[in-house]
Every structure is written in C-alpha cells, then in structure tokens.
Amino acid sequence: MNLFSVEGKTVVVTGGSRGIGKMIATGFVEAGATVYISSRKAPEVEKTAAELGCVAVPADLSTGAGVDTLFEAVSGAETKVDVLVNNAGATWGAPLEEYPEHAFDKLWGINVKGVFYLTTRFLPLLRAAAAPDDPARVINIGSIDGLRVPGIENYAYSAAKAGVHMLTRHLAHQLATESITVNAIAPGPFDSKMMAFALDDPGIRSSIAANVPLGRIGRPEDMAGTAIYLASRAGSYLTGAVIPVDGGSSTR
C-alpha cells in the first residue's frame, strides 16, 4: 500500500486556503504529510490552517517580496521540500471588445510568471529532496480552459492556463536530469471561488453537470487523489504531463 504513500513528505500548496488548493492541502494532511499553505489574505489562510492542522504563510505571490516571504518561512523550518503545488491564480471574464488590457497583465503575472519564479526560488529545497528513485515534485494547476476553447469569455485566463501547460512541459524537460518532475493538473468544474458565479446557482450547476460526460461536478477527493498520485511512488516516472481532471469535459 506504500505505492501511494506521501507520509512524512513536506508539501507547499499555494492558494491553499480555499477551493482546489484547500482540497489538495486537505488530502496531503490526511495522508500524513507536513503541509504549508499560502494565500494573500492572512485571516483566511490562518483559519484554514487551524482547521486542517497545517502551517499558514500569508504571502502575495504576484510580487517578488511575497515569493521571498513564502520561501523564507519554509526554508527557516525545513531543509527540503518534496512537493511544490503551484495553485495560486486568478481569472477574469469580460466581453471581447471590452476586455481590459490590465486583465492580461494581472493574469499573466499571477498564473504564469508567479508559477515560474516561485518554482525557481524553491529549487534549492526541491533539489535537497530529489533522488532518482523518489524525485522531488512540482505540480502546477492549469485548467481545461487551456486545453479547449471555453464557453465563457475569459480570454486572458484561457491563454494563461495554456501557458501554464507549456511551462510545465518546458520545466519538466529542463529539470528531469536533476530528479525533479513537473506535471500539471487541468481541472474541470469544481466548487471554488472561480466557479462560484456559476455553481452557486442550482439551475446553472445542474446544466454544467449535465454537460460533463460523467454527469457530475468534481469532488475534493478527485483533486486530492490526483495530486497524491503525482507526489507518490506511483507517479515517480511521470513528468511533463498535463492531466485533465474534468469528468471527460475536455473530450468534447
């Protein structure tokens, strides 16, 4: 049964106070990992950390200072990081001819640049954990909106998430010789702040679920299970992959 074990591993989850990040953090905590979660909002991340039994680090990862804050907090307590989950992100929707330029700047900065610079900042701790038979892991959270054209006008978001997927492949190629794997999860519809505008409405929720081939919205264990697989011995030979966790939505 240790094929899927992550017990004793040190895990950092950005955007871990709610939504998909909280689902992943919960899974790792329950599986016996030491977990650090970060978020911009201190009260929110501290509340979630107290609830889960993990460590809160308030940090705005869209800035270099925020990246340094998270790294220094973790490196001050740990000698290595086994798993880095880059989940922090943002979305923006607006009609085509009204779509603001600053939306592209914001989403590129958080969803793509943030992933790149946080990963490079954490390389010393990832390298300290890396071994040929048990690589260090980077897990980036993309989106099925980066795999297929979404039904809503979120131009900067879909473009940025496609960027996350290619960045994942590029980093995987670069870091493979150092025994660090880099993979991405591309979620479909899950209960999160980004999807609340739709899923909080029972009628729209039912419609979205009906359009998922498996007929339902994603559950926390669907997301946590995929992340744990990627972080465990079972996923040690996988790198550069983008895994849709979407009930088959991206096949349409």
Of the candidates 79, 197, 75, 188, the residue with the CA atom closest to the CA atom of residue 129: 79
Q: In the structure encoding, which two tokens stand for residue 6, read together?
A: 């992550």
Instruction: Judge whether 99 counts as a catalytic residue.
Output: no
CA–CA separation, 107 and 89 (whole Å) = 7
Check 36, 157, 229, 237 and give the catalytic one.
157
* DSSP line for the chain: -GGG--TT-EEEEETTTSHHHHHHHHHHHHTT-EEEEEES-HHHHHHHHHHHT-EEEE--TTSHHHHHHHHHHHHTT-S--SEEEE---------GGG--HHHHHHHIIIIIIHHHHHHHHTHHHHHHH-BTTB-EEEEEE--GGGTS--SS--HHHHHHHHHHHHHHHHHHHHHGGGTEEEEEEEE-SBSSTTTHHHHTSHHHHHHHHHTSTTSS-B-HHHHHHHHHHHHSGGGTT--S-EEEESTTGGG-
Active site residues: 157
